[in-house]
Amino acid sequence: MIGVGSAPLKPLAGLRVLEFAQIAAGPFTGSLFADLGADVVKIERPDGGDGMRGWPPLHAGENGTDPFSGNFSSLNRNKRSVALDIKNKADVERLYALVENADIFVENFRPGALIRAGLGYEQLRLCNSRLVYCSLTGYGQTGPYAQKGAFDVTVQAMSGVMSVTGEPDGPPVKCGVPVGDFVTGLYAAFTILAATMRARQTGQGAHIDCSILGSLLGISALQTSEYFGTGKPPRRLGSAHPRNAPYAGFDAADKPFTIAAGNDKLWRDTCAIVGRPDLSDDQRFVTQSLRAQNQDQLAAILQPIFATRTAAEWLAAFDAKGVPCAPINNFADILSDPHVREMGWVQPMTMPNGSTAETVGFPIGISDFAFEITRTPPKLGEHSEEVFDEWTQRRTARAL
């Protein structure tokens, strides 16, 4: 379908989303909708708004004034902001007016908090039966942990993810990226779209219970199936793999790199590259399973060889044979990488104070759609009257 003029219609154009959430999981959910063209309205409390507004890096405007958060901007571009106090009866009534015209409502309060404010799913569906209402929490709406406080690191710990992260002889560590928050946002957005499709067919919305704990268990399918199959919890392996080798990081003469010789052909190619074709016939390493079982012995053979040349030399040799390999980059390395730049993932972003920064845009390609930042990340309450005017007029027009 083509929109106005010759510009293709954005994939989610026409969807109206109320995002009543802060920090990471909820705003990331909303950003996925906003980046694909939905009208995402961020509901914030008037006294400070989303707590991430104060997170560094802070980009100063002209003359060093009006600092604006780069962290907040990365998750809240392409949205509008409305400031409402849910302790104020008049503001709650205004929020209900927006709910009447919304398709989706995203919130990340503790279970029961919005019900007490008159904004739970069962309360809101009375004025909009097709509303898809998504609750993001640490542990879910029910169960012994429902009221337990949660941040990404605590649920990584609870979920078992930390138990398999880190070196074998070291302590458990959290993933350096807040994987719990962000994978929960992905699960939420996917499920919201599924429920929205059903709501358009049936006229009936849904309440989605999306937890960080459930989401982390969902992406731990290989680890949970290993436990179910063996009765033993998986252990920390550093960068190694429990069922593949060599599939890990190694130290070259100058810096570390990784290889993933994930099948027998790639293993034979690796033997040729390192000048040890005899290893492919070594009875300890002739099958993928045996290589995994004996990977400590295999690493002890390969590591001294890798230490004789630079990482760039090894990477060039492996790439020439098609063996998956990579440098171990930091974010400065990868964000300036020519491939990332060629893909167009890094884009400029202007903030409300006029300062500019780069950001990673929507990283998935869709034919006939080009991601762009059409709205700067909003000031707190910047669009309050604008949104009420637009949404209320549309509601009135529908009633007429």
Tokens 């039966």, residue?
A: 129
358-360-366-369 Cα dihedral, nearest 10 degrees? -30
Measured CA to CA, the distance from residue 5 to residue 2 in angstroms comes to 8
Measured CA to CA, the distance from residue 337 to residue 343 in angstroms comes to 10
| Backbone φ, ψ for residue 262 (5° rounding) | -85, 5
Structure tokens at 390: 């637009």
110-113-119-125 Cα dihedral, nearest 10 degrees? 60
Instruction: Please confirm, yes or no, whether 181 is among the known catalytic residues.
Output: yes
Measured CA to CA, the distance from residue 53 to residue 28 in angstroms comes to 14
Give kind and range of the element (H or E) at residue 207.
strand 206-211
Per the residue annotation, which of 50, 181, 209, 269 is the catalytic one? 181
User: 219-234 burial, b for 16+ CB within 10 Å, e for fewer?
Assistant: bbeebeebeeeeeeeb
Positions marked catalytic: 181
